[in-house]
Amino acid sequence: MTTQENSDDRIALLQGTLDLLILKTLVLGPCHGQGVARMIQRQSEDVFLVDHGSLYVALQRLEDRKWIRAKWGVSENNRKARFYSLTPKGREQLVEKTGEWRRLARAMGLILEPGGGFKGEEA
Amino acid sequence: MFRRKRSAEDFAEEIKAHLEIEADDLRGEGLSGNEAYTKARRAFGNVGAARERFYLQGRLVWLDKLLRDLRFGLRSLAQSPGFTATAILTLALGIGANTAVFSVMNAVLLKSLPVSDPDRLVYLRTSNPPRGTGTVDTEETFSYPVYDALRREGKGLTPVMAYVPLSGSKVAVRVGAEPEEAEGDMVSGTFFSGLGVNLPLGRGFSEEDETNHSPLAVISYNYWTRRFTRDPDVLGKTMYVNAVPMTIVGVAGEGFEGVESGGSTDFWIPLQNRRELNAWGNPPEDGKLYMTDPTWWCLRMIGRLAPEVSRAQALAQLQPLFQTAAFIGLGGKPMEGEKPPLLGLADAKAFSGSYNTDYGRPLRMLMTMVGLVLLIALANVAMLLMARNAARQREFSVRQALGAGRGELLRQLLVESLILVTAGGALAWGFAETATRLLGRWAEIESSLAPDRTVLLFTLGVLLIAALLFGLAPLRVALAGRAELALKTSAATSNTDAGKSRMARMIVALQMTMCVVLLVGAGLLLRTMRNLQTTPLGMDVDGLVVFRVKPNIPSLAEGRAFYVNLTNKLRALPGVESVTVMEERIGSWWSNNSDLRVDGRLPNVANSASRTVRSNVVGPNFFHTLGVPVLSGRDFADSDNAASPLVGIINEQFAERFLPNVNPLGHTFGPDNVPVNVTIVGVVKDHKYRSIDEEPIPMAWYEYAEIPLVGPMDVEMRVHGDPLAILPSARKVVQQIDPNLPLIRPMTQRAQFDMTIAHQMMFARLAGFFGFLAVVLVATGLYGTLAYRVSLRTAEIGVRMAVGARRGQVVWMILKDSLMLTVAGVLMGVPLAMLVGRALTSSLYGVKPLDAFTYFTSVVGVAVVALAASAIPAGRAASVDPMRALRTE
């Protein structure tokens, strides 16, 4: 029932969240689609199971918006792959979206854990 | 979004790469080659869905689908070229005819005056002119004193404007060196300001221009375009009108060509007061021009209702003014027993006047006819589509089984109908343009007939209705076949169409109904045409040729001498049998109408019949030349001249009505307003004067050499052989007398009379054409439907014949079906046709609206078409080989 879990996670991935995660991943350097998916999955400690179809559509969307650019290259294990990298515009977006997300998370935290605050979860 | 940076192949490539990298990773984690790849795929999810999402991303999905539907629709229509061509042609004919007739109707009847606030404009009308006056139109023209009084004191209308043509046709105009002819009106100073005509260039007139009779002119936009190629330097140029110089000071707004429907005035000048520019181009009567002659009612008037004043209030204010002014110069008050004239105000928003009766009714009738043709055409195409789509039921079922939604099928059908309608509409537009020009020529409409926005909207509206109808009509059929049907044979479905076949039967019957109506209408009009063509004129019109001369006449004596001289010289030409002259050309609609005194007083008329007499002024041998029999007394002769006693001739009607039961010879008649009596010396047989379709009316003739007025006249010559062949030598004779005189409108007398029925003839021809078109459309529709229905019953017929039905029985089965439809159609059609016949009454001549022959022929015509259209499919059905029919499926 992985698919079921996936779709649950996708619901958790709010509109725009995937975009932010992709941008964040690409800050570390150019990467192909599969690498982006792996990285997101790993860094979220497997909480986020990325739907690959959505990922590629999202990559295409970001490319159309000129936030990222793509180039065919060769992967570390010598496979042909399409590498994505951030554009300056994409960097600006990342800063902006990260700020937005922080504000949203803080506000959510304030409401869900009155008095606790965002950091309370770590206790 | 039409051009994409990245192809779908590139995207697929990327996904492939992803899967390979993922599999590599998984192998690195210890999985075997195959397992790794499978897991990678599983982890990715639905590759096809991802590719589809990539494909759809950023595309105008509806447009993409539309384009695909369009391509599919074109392919599917191309597969049945016969059907496509029939449908498109049918649509083009139906819609084109409607657009054409509507264009003309729009130009003539619907377009409002291109002036500001036309709702507040009214034409002035009178019930009748006072006695002792001459008019141009008994209800529409007024004398100058009436205009003068109304414009000064008529507070209900601000302003009252007068306008009058400078000629019955065109006047001589010269700008620069080339002389030409143009239509011109004299108008009030308030004409442009009062109507609110927009002047893109220059200015209009002022009241001072009218008072001073300023030599100024405003030209129409059309004339400016045609003659001056929209040269802005036209202002200030001198324009010679009948050799009188006028300065062009303005150009009227586009579309303004006067306030009479269908007219096309080229220029306007302020009201003038000089011999060369008399109203209607008439010679001065007793030295008086229109401004000083209260007995000549020749001005047309239009007014604008004063602010806050209703039409009734305005009329109440103007009525007493009018009734006083009407008798200025006529003794100041009505004569004994005379009914004073009543002023009326008529809507000027849309054009009206005689134009409406001449063209309005026929145009509305034509519109109805082409409307019916359109209905038939639409029904035809709808039926063709239904039949075609029923035959495609299997295709639809298969497509549904493969996952097409009903919405998609609907869209597909709508797109197909859209293609048909677009193609048909484009063709219709071209067809309509030609037809409109022909119709415009018929109606002698010179004003612009170019299809405007209203026409375009009308056509688009019709097309839209057609597109929806054609898309939706076959829908039920298409959707009736559910997906499971794809698996069954079509023989199994052939008995499911009972319902839609009832619908098709109804449509066929209705088409026949409309066909009967159209055929009766067309038949009545065609018989009218025949009657008009064969109407006896009461004279021997063949061998007659007529032309007009406008000599320069300095004095009465010289004028008379000119005509005597001309007549004598023409008579001497070889081949000429006799020659005469007349003031009003016969067969040209013109006539002089007035009440006449008989034996010194206005006659008492039995049964309160009209006292109106049509009179004409003619020369010697008039009736002999025309070939009109003189019943008693004599014709005019050369000996009737200024020195001899005054003589006149009357027709039978005159004698019957005003001098019943006595010998009219020796009695006298004379005009109502002049104390002159002429003695009746002859009675002639009734004959046509103004037009072919006129009813007999009392007529009287004066001799030109005896009365104190002489102007331009028409010369009538009877010759041996081709009448027109005499014209060159006649022209030589005229130019020997005065080298500057042209022969005006020379033609045979037959052609002149034919012009008076040209409208009716054209109307009848058009009606006949539309009737014929309807029959053709009905025949194709019927054939298509019946053939289709027979084809559906092939299996059934095969069974019947296999179990022993004979050929005849099968044919009869099919024929019976269409006969019943015909009977139903005829039963509905005949009463409807009777209604149409009643509406046509005023357009008919010599045929009753309930003409049995026409009805009979129409019904037989429809029946023949129906039977012929059924016979072929029936014959084909009967020749079906039973074994093959059964094996078809």
Asked if the A2-87 domain carries CATH number 3.40.50.11540, the reply is no
Q: Is residue B267 part of a domain?
A: yes
Question: Looking at residue B352, what is its pLDDT?
Answer: 45
Let me know how long chain B is. Answer: 889
d(CA B31, CA B41): 14
Question: Looking at residue B270, what is its pLDDT?
Answer: 94
Question: Looking at residue B499, what is its pLDDT?
Answer: 46
**Average pLDDT over every residue of B642-660:** 91
B800 pLDDT more than 50: yes
Cross-chain residue pair B21–A64, CB shorter than 8 Å: no
Does B757 share its domain with B860?
A: yes
Element spanning B864, H or E: helix B852-878
pLDDT category, B492, cuts 50, 70, 90? very low
B351 pLDDT more than 60: no
3-state SS of B269-338 is EECCCCHHHCHHHCCCECCECCCCCCCEECEEEEEEECCCCCHHHHHHHHHHHHHHHCCCCCCCCCCCCC
Q: Is beta strand B299-305 parallel, antiparallel or unpaired with respect to B141-142?
A: antiparallel
- The residue with tokens 């202002």 is B235
Window from B184-188, B236-240, B331-335, B622-626 with minimum mean pLDDT: B331-335
Portion of chain B with pLDDT greater than 90, in percent: 20
Q: Is residue B92 part of a domain?
A: yes
**Average pLDDT over every residue of B820-842:** 88
- The burial of B741, by beta-carbon neighbours within 10 Å (0-12 exposed, 13-18 middle, 19 or more buried), is given as middle
d(CA B523, CA B770): 11
Question: Looking at residue B451, what is its pLDDT?
Answer: 64
A2 pLDDT more than 50: no
Question: Which residues, including other chains, have CB under 8 Å from residue B66's CB and lie 6 or more apart?
Answer: B415
Question: Looking at residue B82, what is its pLDDT?
Answer: 80
B394 pLDDT more than 80: no
- Domains held by chain B: number: 5
Question: Looking at residue B885, what is its pLDDT?
Answer: 66
**Average pLDDT over every residue of B632-660:** 91
Rounded to 10°, the helix B453-472/B406-442 angle is: 140
Does B212 share its domain with B293?
A: yes
Question: Looking at residue A10, what is its pLDDT?
Answer: 42
**Average pLDDT over every residue of B423-434:** 87
Question: Looking at residue B178, what is its pLDDT?
Answer: 73
**Closest-CA residue to B102 (of B352, B373, B471, B464):** B373
- The burial of B610, by beta-carbon neighbours within 10 Å (0-12 exposed, 13-18 middle, 19 or more buried), is given as exposed
Shortest CA gap B255–chain A (Å):
53
**Average pLDDT over every residue of A23-45:** 86
Tell me: cis bond preceding B159? Omega within 30 of 0 counts: yes
Cross-chain residue pair B17–A80, CB shorter than 8 Å: yes
Cross-chain residue pair A77–B11, CB shorter than 8 Å: no
More confident: B833 or B767: B833
Task: Tell me whether A80 touches chain B (CB under 8 Å).
Answer: yes
DSSP SS3 for B578: strand
Q: Which of B323, B350, B377 is the last residue of a domain?
A: B350
Task: Tell me whether B48 touches chain A (CB under 8 Å).
Answer: no
Task: Tell me whether A41 touches chain B (CB under 8 Å).
Answer: no
Task: Tell me whether A7 touches chain B (CB under 8 Å).
Answer: no
Q: Is beta strand A80-86 parallel, antiparallel or unpaired with respect to A31-32?
A: antiparallel
Q: Is residue B14 part of a domain?
A: yes
**Closest-CA residue to B366 (of B521, B255, B214, B212):** B521
More confident: B884 or A79: A79
- The burial of B349, by beta-carbon neighbours within 10 Å (0-12 exposed, 13-18 middle, 19 or more buried), is given as middle
> For residue B652, how many other CB atoms are within 10 A of its CB?
17
Cross-chain residue pair B50–A60, CB shorter than 8 Å: no
Measured over all CA atoms, what is the biggest interatomic distance in chain A, rounded to whole angstroms?
53
d(CA B395, CA B411): 15
When the pLDDT of each residue in chain B is averaged and rounded to a whole number, the result is: 83
Does B67 share its domain with B127?
A: no
Domain extent, residue B704, equals 551-740
Cross-chain residue pair B44–A52, CB shorter than 8 Å: yes
More confident: B442 or A41: A41
Q: Is beta strand B668-671 parallel, antiparallel or unpaired with respect to B612-618?
A: unpaired
pLDDT category, B268, cuts 50, 70, 90? very high
Joined tokens for residue A45: 């400690």
Does B368 share its domain with B466?
A: yes
Centroid of chain to Cα B405: 49
- The burial of B383, by beta-carbon neighbours within 10 Å (0-12 exposed, 13-18 middle, 19 or more buried), is given as buried
* Amino acid symbol at B574: P
A110 pLDDT more than 70: yes
B842 pLDDT more than 80: no
Window from B10-14, B475-479, B515-519, B752-756 with minimum mean pLDDT: B475-479
**Average pLDDT over every residue of B487-516:** 66
Chain B CB contacts of A3 under 8 Å are 45
Does B517 share its domain with B639?
A: no
CB B222 within 8 A of CB B264: yes
Q: Is residue B321 part of a domain?
A: yes
Q: Can you say whether residue B198 is alpha, beta or left, with left for phi > 0 and alpha for psi between -120 and 50 degrees?
A: beta
d(CA B195, CA B301): 12
Does B277 share its domain with B414?
A: no
Cross-chain residue pair A79–B18, CB shorter than 8 Å: no
**Average pLDDT over every residue of B741-755:** 85
Does B303 share its domain with B404?
A: no
Q: Is residue B520 part of a domain?
A: yes
pLDDT digits (tens, 9 = 90+) for B152-174: 888 888 889 999 998 877 788 88
Q: Can you say whether residue B273 is alpha, beta or left, with left for phi > 0 and alpha for psi between -120 and 50 degrees?
A: beta
Cross-chain residue pair B44–A64, CB shorter than 8 Å: no
pLDDT digits (tens, 9 = 90+) for A112-122: 876 654 444 44
Task: Tell me whether A33 touches chain B (CB under 8 Å).
Answer: yes
Joined tokens for residue B671: 């005009």
Joined tokens for residue B121: 């404009």
B489 pLDDT more than 60: no
Does B209 share its domain with B341?
A: yes
Provide the CB-side half-sphere exposure for B396 (13 A, CA).
24
pLDDT category, B21, cuts 50, 70, 90? confident
Does B687 share its domain with B760?
A: no
B397 pLDDT more than 70: yes
Cross-chain residue pair A52–B50, CB shorter than 8 Å: yes
CB B276 within 8 A of CB B245: no
Cross-chain residue pair B15–A34, CB shorter than 8 Å: no
**Nearest CB neighbour to A53, from listed B6, B20, B50:** B50
Bridge partners of residue B545, in order along the sequence: B717, B748
- ipTM confidence score: 0.78
B3 pLDDT more than 70: no
Question: Looking at residue B445, what is its pLDDT?
Answer: 55
In terms of DSSP H, where are the helices of B661-802? 727-737, 749-755, 758-792, 794-802
**Average pLDDT over every residue of B387-415:** 78
pLDDT digits (tens, 9 = 90+) for B56-98: 766 666 777 788 888 988 898 888 888 888 888 888 888 888 8
**DSSP output for B849-861:** TT-HHHHHHHHHH
Question: Looking at residue A120, what is its pLDDT?
Answer: 44
- The residue with tokens 């399409």 is A82
B411 pLDDT more than 90: no
Question: Which residues, including other chains, have CB under 8 Å from residue B99's CB and lie 6 or more apart?
Answer: B428, B429, B432, B435, B436, B451, B455, B458, B459, B462
**Average pLDDT over every residue of B120-135:** 83
Does B774 share its domain with B671?
A: no
Shortest CA gap A98–chain B (Å):
26
Element spanning B684, H or E: strand B678-684
Q: Is residue B432 part of a domain?
A: yes
Instruction: Return the domain boundaries, chain A.
Output: 2-87
Question: Looking at residue B535, what is its pLDDT?
Answer: 84
Question: Looking at residue B1, what is its pLDDT?
Answer: 40
In chain A the first and final C-alpha atoms are separated, in Å, by: 32
Q: Which of B686, B710, B740 is the last residue of a domain?
A: B740
Joined tokens for residue B788: 């289709």
CB A26 within 8 A of CB A90: yes
Task: Tell me whether B20 touches chain A (CB under 8 Å).
Answer: yes
Does B238 share its domain with B281?
A: yes
Let me know how long chain A is. Answer: 123
More confident: B879 or B2: B879
**Average pLDDT over every residue of B638-665:** 91
Does B76 share its domain with B88?
A: yes
Chain A CB contacts of B50 under 8 Å are 52-54, 56-57
Question: Looking at residue B572, what is its pLDDT?
Answer: 93
